[in-house]
Structure 1
Amino acid sequence: MSDPLCRLHVQSREAVALAPGLVEGSAEMLGLSSPDRVRLRALTVEVLAAVLQDAFGPEDQVDLDLEVLRAPGEMRLVLRDRGAPLDFGASYPPRVADLIRLGFADGLTFANEGRAGNRTEISKHLAYEQVTDEQFIAETEADLIPAPTVGEDGQVVVDIRPMTPDDVVGVARLFYRCYGYTVAYAPVVYEPERLAELVESGQHLATVAIAPEGHIVGHLSSEVRTPGATVGKIGLLAVDPAYRRHGLSLRIGFAHVSRLLELGFVGQYTEAVTVHLGSQKAALTGGGHEAGMLLAGQSNELDFRGFESDDKVRKAVMLFYGSFGKTPQRTSYVPPIYRGVVERIYSVGNLPREVVADFERHPEVASGPSRIRLDLRHETGLAFVVVESYGEDFLEKLQEHVQQLRLNRFELILVVLPLSDPATSFFGSGLQEMGLSFSGIYPEYNDGDVLVLQNLNNVEIRPDEINVASDMGEFLRDFVLEDYRRAGERVAQRERSRAHMARIYEALD
Structure 2
Amino acid sequence: MTDQLLGRLRIESIDSVSLLGSLAESAAVVLGISISDAARLGTLTGEVAEALVRDAYDDETEIDMELDVVRSAGSCRLILRDHGAPMDLGRGGYPPRVSELVRLGFADGLEIAYEPRVGNRAEIAKNRSFASVSSDEEFVAAVESEADTPDAADFDDSGELDLQVRAMAPADAVGVARLFYRCYHYTAVQAPLVYEPERMAEYVEAGRHFGTIAVTRTGRVVGHVASEIERPDAITGRIGLFAVDPAYRRHHIGSKVGFAHVVRLVERGIVGQFTEAVTVHLASQRSALAAGGHEVGLLLAGQSPRLSFEGFEGTAGRRKSVLLFFASLGAIPGRTVHVPNVYREVIGRIYAECSLEREIKTDFDPRSPADPDGTNLKLTLSHETGVARIRVAAYGHDFLEVLQEQVNQLRLNRFDVIWVYFPLADPATSKYASGLQELGLSFSGVYPEYLDGDYLVLQCLNNVDIDPADIQVASEMGRYVRDFVVADARRAADREAVQSRSRARMARIYEALDP
TM-score w.r.t. length of structure 2: 0.84
Cα distance change on mapping 1:147 and 1:297 into 2, 3 Å? farther
TM-fit CA distance, 1:154: 12
Deviating more after overlay: 45-54 vs 424-433: 45-54
Deviating more after overlay: 498-507 vs 157-166: 498-507
Report what 1:35 is aligned to.
Answer: 36
Q: What is the alpha-carbon distance in structure 2 between the residues aligned to residue 486 and residue 34 of structure 1?
A: 47
Cα distance change on mapping 1:111 and 1:371 into 2, 3 Å? closer
Cα distance change on mapping 1:371 and 1:216 into 2, 3 Å? same
TM-fit CA distance, 1:355: 0.8
Report what 2:269 is aligned to.
Answer: 264
Q: What is the alpha-carbon distance in structure 2 between the residues aligned to residue 58 and residue 498 of structure 1?
A: 35
Task: Map Cα deviations across residues 316-338 of structure 1 (whole Å, 9 max, x no partner).
Answer: 22212223333222221111111
Q: What is the alpha-carbon distance in structure 2 between the residues aligned to residue 311 and residue 180 of structure 1?
A: 19
Q: Report if aligned partners of 2:133, 2:140 keep a CA contact under 8 Å in 1.
A: no
Cα distance change on mapping 1:459 and 1:154 into 2, 3 Å? farther
Q: What is the alpha-carbon distance in structure 2 between the residues aligned to residue 228 and residue 30 of structure 1?
A: 27
Report what 1:434 is aligned to.
Answer: 439
Matches within 5 A, 1:327-476: 327-360=332-365, 364-366=369-371, 369-476=374-481
Q: Are residues 1:70 and 2:75 paired?
A: no
Matches within 5 A, 1:222-241: 222-239=227-244
Q: Of residues 122, 126, 139 in structure 1, which corresponds to 2:128?
A: 126
TM-fit CA distance, 1:162: 2.2
Residue identity opposite 1:87 in structure 2: D
Q: Which runs of 5+ in 2 are unaligned?
A: none
Cα distance change on mapping 1:156 and 1:506 into 2, 3 Å? farther
Helix, strand or coil: the match of 2:450?
Answer: coil
More relative contact order, 1 or 2 (CA 8 Å, 6+ apart): 2
Q: Of residues 107, 110, 117 in structure 1, which corresponds to 2:110?
A: 107
Cα distance change on mapping 1:425 and 1:55 into 2, 3 Å? closer
Helix, strand or coil: the match of 1:380?
Answer: coil
Q: Are residues 1:193 and 2:198 paired?
A: yes
Q: Percent identity?
A: 51
TM-fit CA distance, 1:31: 0.9
Deviating more after overlay: 491-500 vs 167-176: 491-500
Q: What is the alpha-carbon distance in structure 2 between the residues aligned to residue 482 and residue 241 of structure 1?
A: 41
Helix, strand or coil: the match of 2:27?
Answer: helix
Report what 2:141 is aligned to.
Answer: 139
Q: Of residues 201, 211, 214 in structure 2, which corresponds to 1:206?
A: 211
Q: Report if aligned partners of 2:165, 2:212 keep a CA contact under 8 Å in 1.
A: yes
Deviating more after overlay: 147-156 vs 46-55: 147-156
Deviating more after overlay: 212-221 vs 480-489: 212-221
Q: Report if aligned partners of 1:179, 1:302 keep a CA contact under 8 Å in 2.
A: no
TM-score w.r.t. length of structure 1: 0.85
Cα distance change on mapping 1:213 and 1:281 into 2, 3 Å? farther
Residue identity opposite 1:47 in structure 2: V
Residue identity opposite 1:266 in structure 2: V
Cα distance change on mapping 1:291 and 1:500 into 2, 3 Å? same
TM-fit CA distance, 1:111: 4.5
Q: Report if aligned partners of 2:376, 2:394 keep a CA contact under 8 Å in 1.
A: yes
Residue identity opposite 1:291 in structure 2: V
Cα distance change on mapping 1:160 and 1:19 into 2, 3 Å? same
Q: Which runs of 5+ in 1 are unaligned?
A: none
TM-fit CA distance, 1:448: 1.4
Cα distance change on mapping 1:358 and 1:178 into 2, 3 Å? farther
TM-fit CA distance, 1:466: 2.9
Helix, strand or coil: the match of 1:225?
Answer: coil
Report what 1:478 is aligned to.
Answer: 483
